[in-house]
A and B are shown apart, each in its own frame.
Chain A
Amino acid sequence: MSMAYRTLETNETYILQAERVKKQNRKKSFLKGMLFLLPSILLFGAFVFYPMFKTIYLSFFLTNAQGATTVYVGWENYKALITDPIFMKSVKNTFLFVFYTVPTTVVISLALAVVANEKLKGIGFFRTIFSSTMGVSVAAASVFWLYLFNPTMGLLNKFLEVFGLEAIEWLTDPKWALLAVSATTIWMNIGFTFLILLGGLQSIDSSLYESADIEGTGYFYKLRRITIPMLSPTFFFVITVSIINAFQTFGQIDILTQGGPANGTNLIVYSIYREAFVNYQFGSASAQAVVLFILILLMTALQFKLGERKVHYQ
């Protein structure tokens, strides 16, 4: 409506008035935008940004058991971490854990998704089964596997017995414990990863396959030349999420091993939990949390840098 007026009137008072109205409108739309965003912004401020800065702040202090700062120690908490063999072991364990879990989960889930993407009778049932571990909580999954890994009664050692192999102390042998926790985690994460990859497969344009069919190309050729490249954005997402998840692992450690044997499965988040809520060393626990934050940031950045070149967007 104001457009119509503008062509008719061009005197100065009008321009001033228009400016004022514009300013008012801008203010109004800003307020309206904030109204819609304010709940989220307030909660993010209180439960994400403030705690993040507070963690960095705490990492330069010693605290009492209530978490109040007592002595400023500068970089001492960080220096202590670098020379602490237990913390360094937890960092190493975490990277190993990522290395054990992420590629295996993605490869198994991809294989499942490819098979479950075929148009076969009853395929819906199999899709449901394959995604079902997404509905199993970390506590329940850990209880299942706690039994499977039980050295005397567990199903895994019973299988070994059938084949005449020696029983394995899955959760208390330093050689096996981290692998055992990784196996549990892989099983748990297959559901979600499968679901996302299947969604990715189904969004691939079917005409690509049709033209490949006309040319008479084979199954694995199509898999390699069409499916995998077209799926790359989904891979990128799934791998990033899996790595971040692996860095945040806590529940399965708490139930299966409590970080043992000899800190063999002590991952960073479990180490933070122990330092803060068992030993009440909030300063040094915060320093560990900052290290975790930086590691996740670096991994994500690296992932984006490497992924950018390889990802093929449709």
Chain B
Amino acid sequence: MMLTTGKKITFYVLLVISAFLLAGPAIMAIVMSFMTNQDILTGSLPKTFTFDNYIAAFDRLPLLQFLFNSLVVAIVITLGQLMLSALAAYAFVFLEFKGRDLLFYLFIATMMVPFEASVIPNFHMIRDLGWIDSYAGMTVPFFATTFGTFLLRQNFKQIPKELREASMIAGMGDVKFYLTVVLPVSRTSLVTLGIYGFLTSWNMYLWPLLSTTNDTVRTVQIGLKQLQTQEQLNQWGVMMAGAVIVIIPTLILLFAGQKKLQTGLTEGAVK
């Protein structure tokens, strides 16, 4: 379909205005994070460029430690989700056994239980296991995901069943078939799920707030909240510097994987 010049201009105007409005808050935060507190308080445009806010943010909180914790937590959750969903998806697509459909409904049922509604016993369990302030307590509850299983199941279904039969006749077991054929073929979906898992676990808020009590394992999201509650002198520049540090890793990941996410998530969502 060819667009007339007039239509093209209309579209570009719409695109630019919407982009400006949507990115506005983030751009504002980035600009403010490099402004002096005086410029911010007097509401003037940035006159001097300074790194002071970043230095202050790292000074006030063990931000490097928090960033490291967030990274560990997000990577461990992502890997855990990939492993468990891929195994479960394989069983649902390739293995036939009694009770499989029942288990499938059990997976669907988990989607009906929001984590927030079962957070109290979860908290008590982690506490009784001695997992408060530990990476285990922050990651293990999130390894099993129905969403991930469904997304990969959708993808595994496209692998012809005959391929498995042929591999079995060639004396390949299920484990070997899974490792050497299914996983490599489904690389793209695994990456998509990995990006999604990393984004959501890096951004988690309620559970890290409950399951950490000190700085050793606290994530950067909770660090940001600390920075905000400590702020009595309206040091917005420091807070914005903190917020920018928090969003940079996920924004980079999103920019790199936006296309994959879009196709992957739609596939998993709609059919």
Could you tell me which A residues sit within 8 Å of B by CB distance? 26, 29-30, 32-34, 36-37, 39-41, 43-44, 46-52, 54-55, 58, 67, 112, 115-116, 118-120, 123, 126-141, 143-148, 153, 155, 158, 187, 190, 195-196, 198-200, 202-203, 209, 213, 233-234, 237-238, 244, 247-248, 250-251, 254-255, 269, 272-273, 276-277, 282, 285-286, 289-290, 292-293, 296-297, 300
Contacts and interface: CB of A to CB of B under 8 A. Distances in A.
10 contacts: A29-B95, A43-B84, A48-B110, A49-B113, A132-B26, A135-B253, A136-B250, A140-B247, A143-B224, A153-B236
A143 B120 contact: no
B116 interface: yes
B170 interface: no
Contacts of B199: 134-135
Given A136-B250, A200-B266, A272-B119, A195 B144 contact: no
Question: Main SS of the interface on chain A?
Answer: helix
B183 to A, nearest CB: 13
A48 B113 contact: yes
B114 A247 contact: yes
Contact of A132 (B29, B114, B251): B251
Contacts of A196: 262, 265-266, 269
Contact of B119 (A118, A127, A190, A289): A289
Which of B88, B209, B221, B270 has the most chain A CB within a 10 Å cutoff? B270
A300 B113 CA distance: 11
Contacts of A119: 1
B112 A36 contact: no
Q: Which 4 A-B pairs have the closest CB atoms?
A: A199-B266, A51-B118, A137-B203, A36-B91
Contacts of A277: 123, 210
Given A33-B91, A55-B120, A196-B265, A41 B103 contact: yes
